[in-house]
Structure 1
């Protein structure tokens, strides 16, 4: 059994995921990331999944209940 590859991600507040225990698996996952940590990718995916769940709850694709105030969406401010 290969031991834990890394004890830290080197990023403040971002722990090593416990299921990343085999050196070969971590290397295979991180090599294509060109220096990024696999934990960063997992965190981003979790954040996107949470946002997707909220968007389903909000039904953001449906029309607005009321018209927005004039110039609400005007750019630049």
Structure 2
């Protein structure tokens, strides 16, 4: 009687271990933490990144074609959007983009969206209001005269 109950307990424990191993290998590694203080794991990174990248692309589309910020931002964000759309694995996205974890990519995209919207207001592609001084890039900014 005692031997059969011990076998049942052992069998149940062994079965639980096997189930954990199988579930972990079938579902892929589930990310529990980013390892970055204050940064939580993204719940739906594909959706979040796609939405942010589309917003950025819509914002820069309002800029003139020849604007350098538009050209380079469209190129980078477009490449990243294609990677997100064509890749189902979060780990693969991180490897292909090679700029951090998806949570960091989301933060970068949020910051880029804020910048793109500010650039629309600043209009850096327009001519200067007045000519810049010839010494604007001189260093040090103020001429220092030695004391005698």
Q: TM class by shorter-chain length?
A: 0.5 to 0.7
The match for 2:69 is none
CA RMSD of aligned residues (A): 2.8
The one of the two structures with greater contact order (alpha-carbon pairs below 8 A, sep at least 6) is 2
Structure whose alpha-carbon radius of gyration is higher? 2
SS at match of 1:29: helix
Residue 111 of structure 2 is aligned to residue 67 of structure 1? no
User: How big is the shift at 1:5?
Assistant: 1.5
The match for 1:13 is 38
User: How big is the shift at 1:69?
Assistant: 3.8
Q: Judge conservation of contact 1:5–1:26 (CA < 8 Å) in 2.
A: no
User: How big is the shift at 1:32?
Assistant: 2.9
User: How big is the shift at 1:55?
Assistant: 0.6
Q: Which runs of 5+ in 1 are unaligned?
A: none
Greater share of helix residues, 1 or 2?
2
Q: Please report the TM-score for the alignment, with normalisation by the length of structure 1.
A: 0.65
SS at match of 1:13: coil
The match for 1:31 is 95
Q: Which runs of 5+ in 2 are unaligned?
A: 1-26, 46-87, 141-148
Measured at CA, do residues 33 and 60 of structure 1 come closer, stay the same or move farther in structure 2, by a change above 3 Å?
Answer: closer
Q: Please report the TM-score for the alignment, with normalisation by the length of structure 2.
A: 0.39
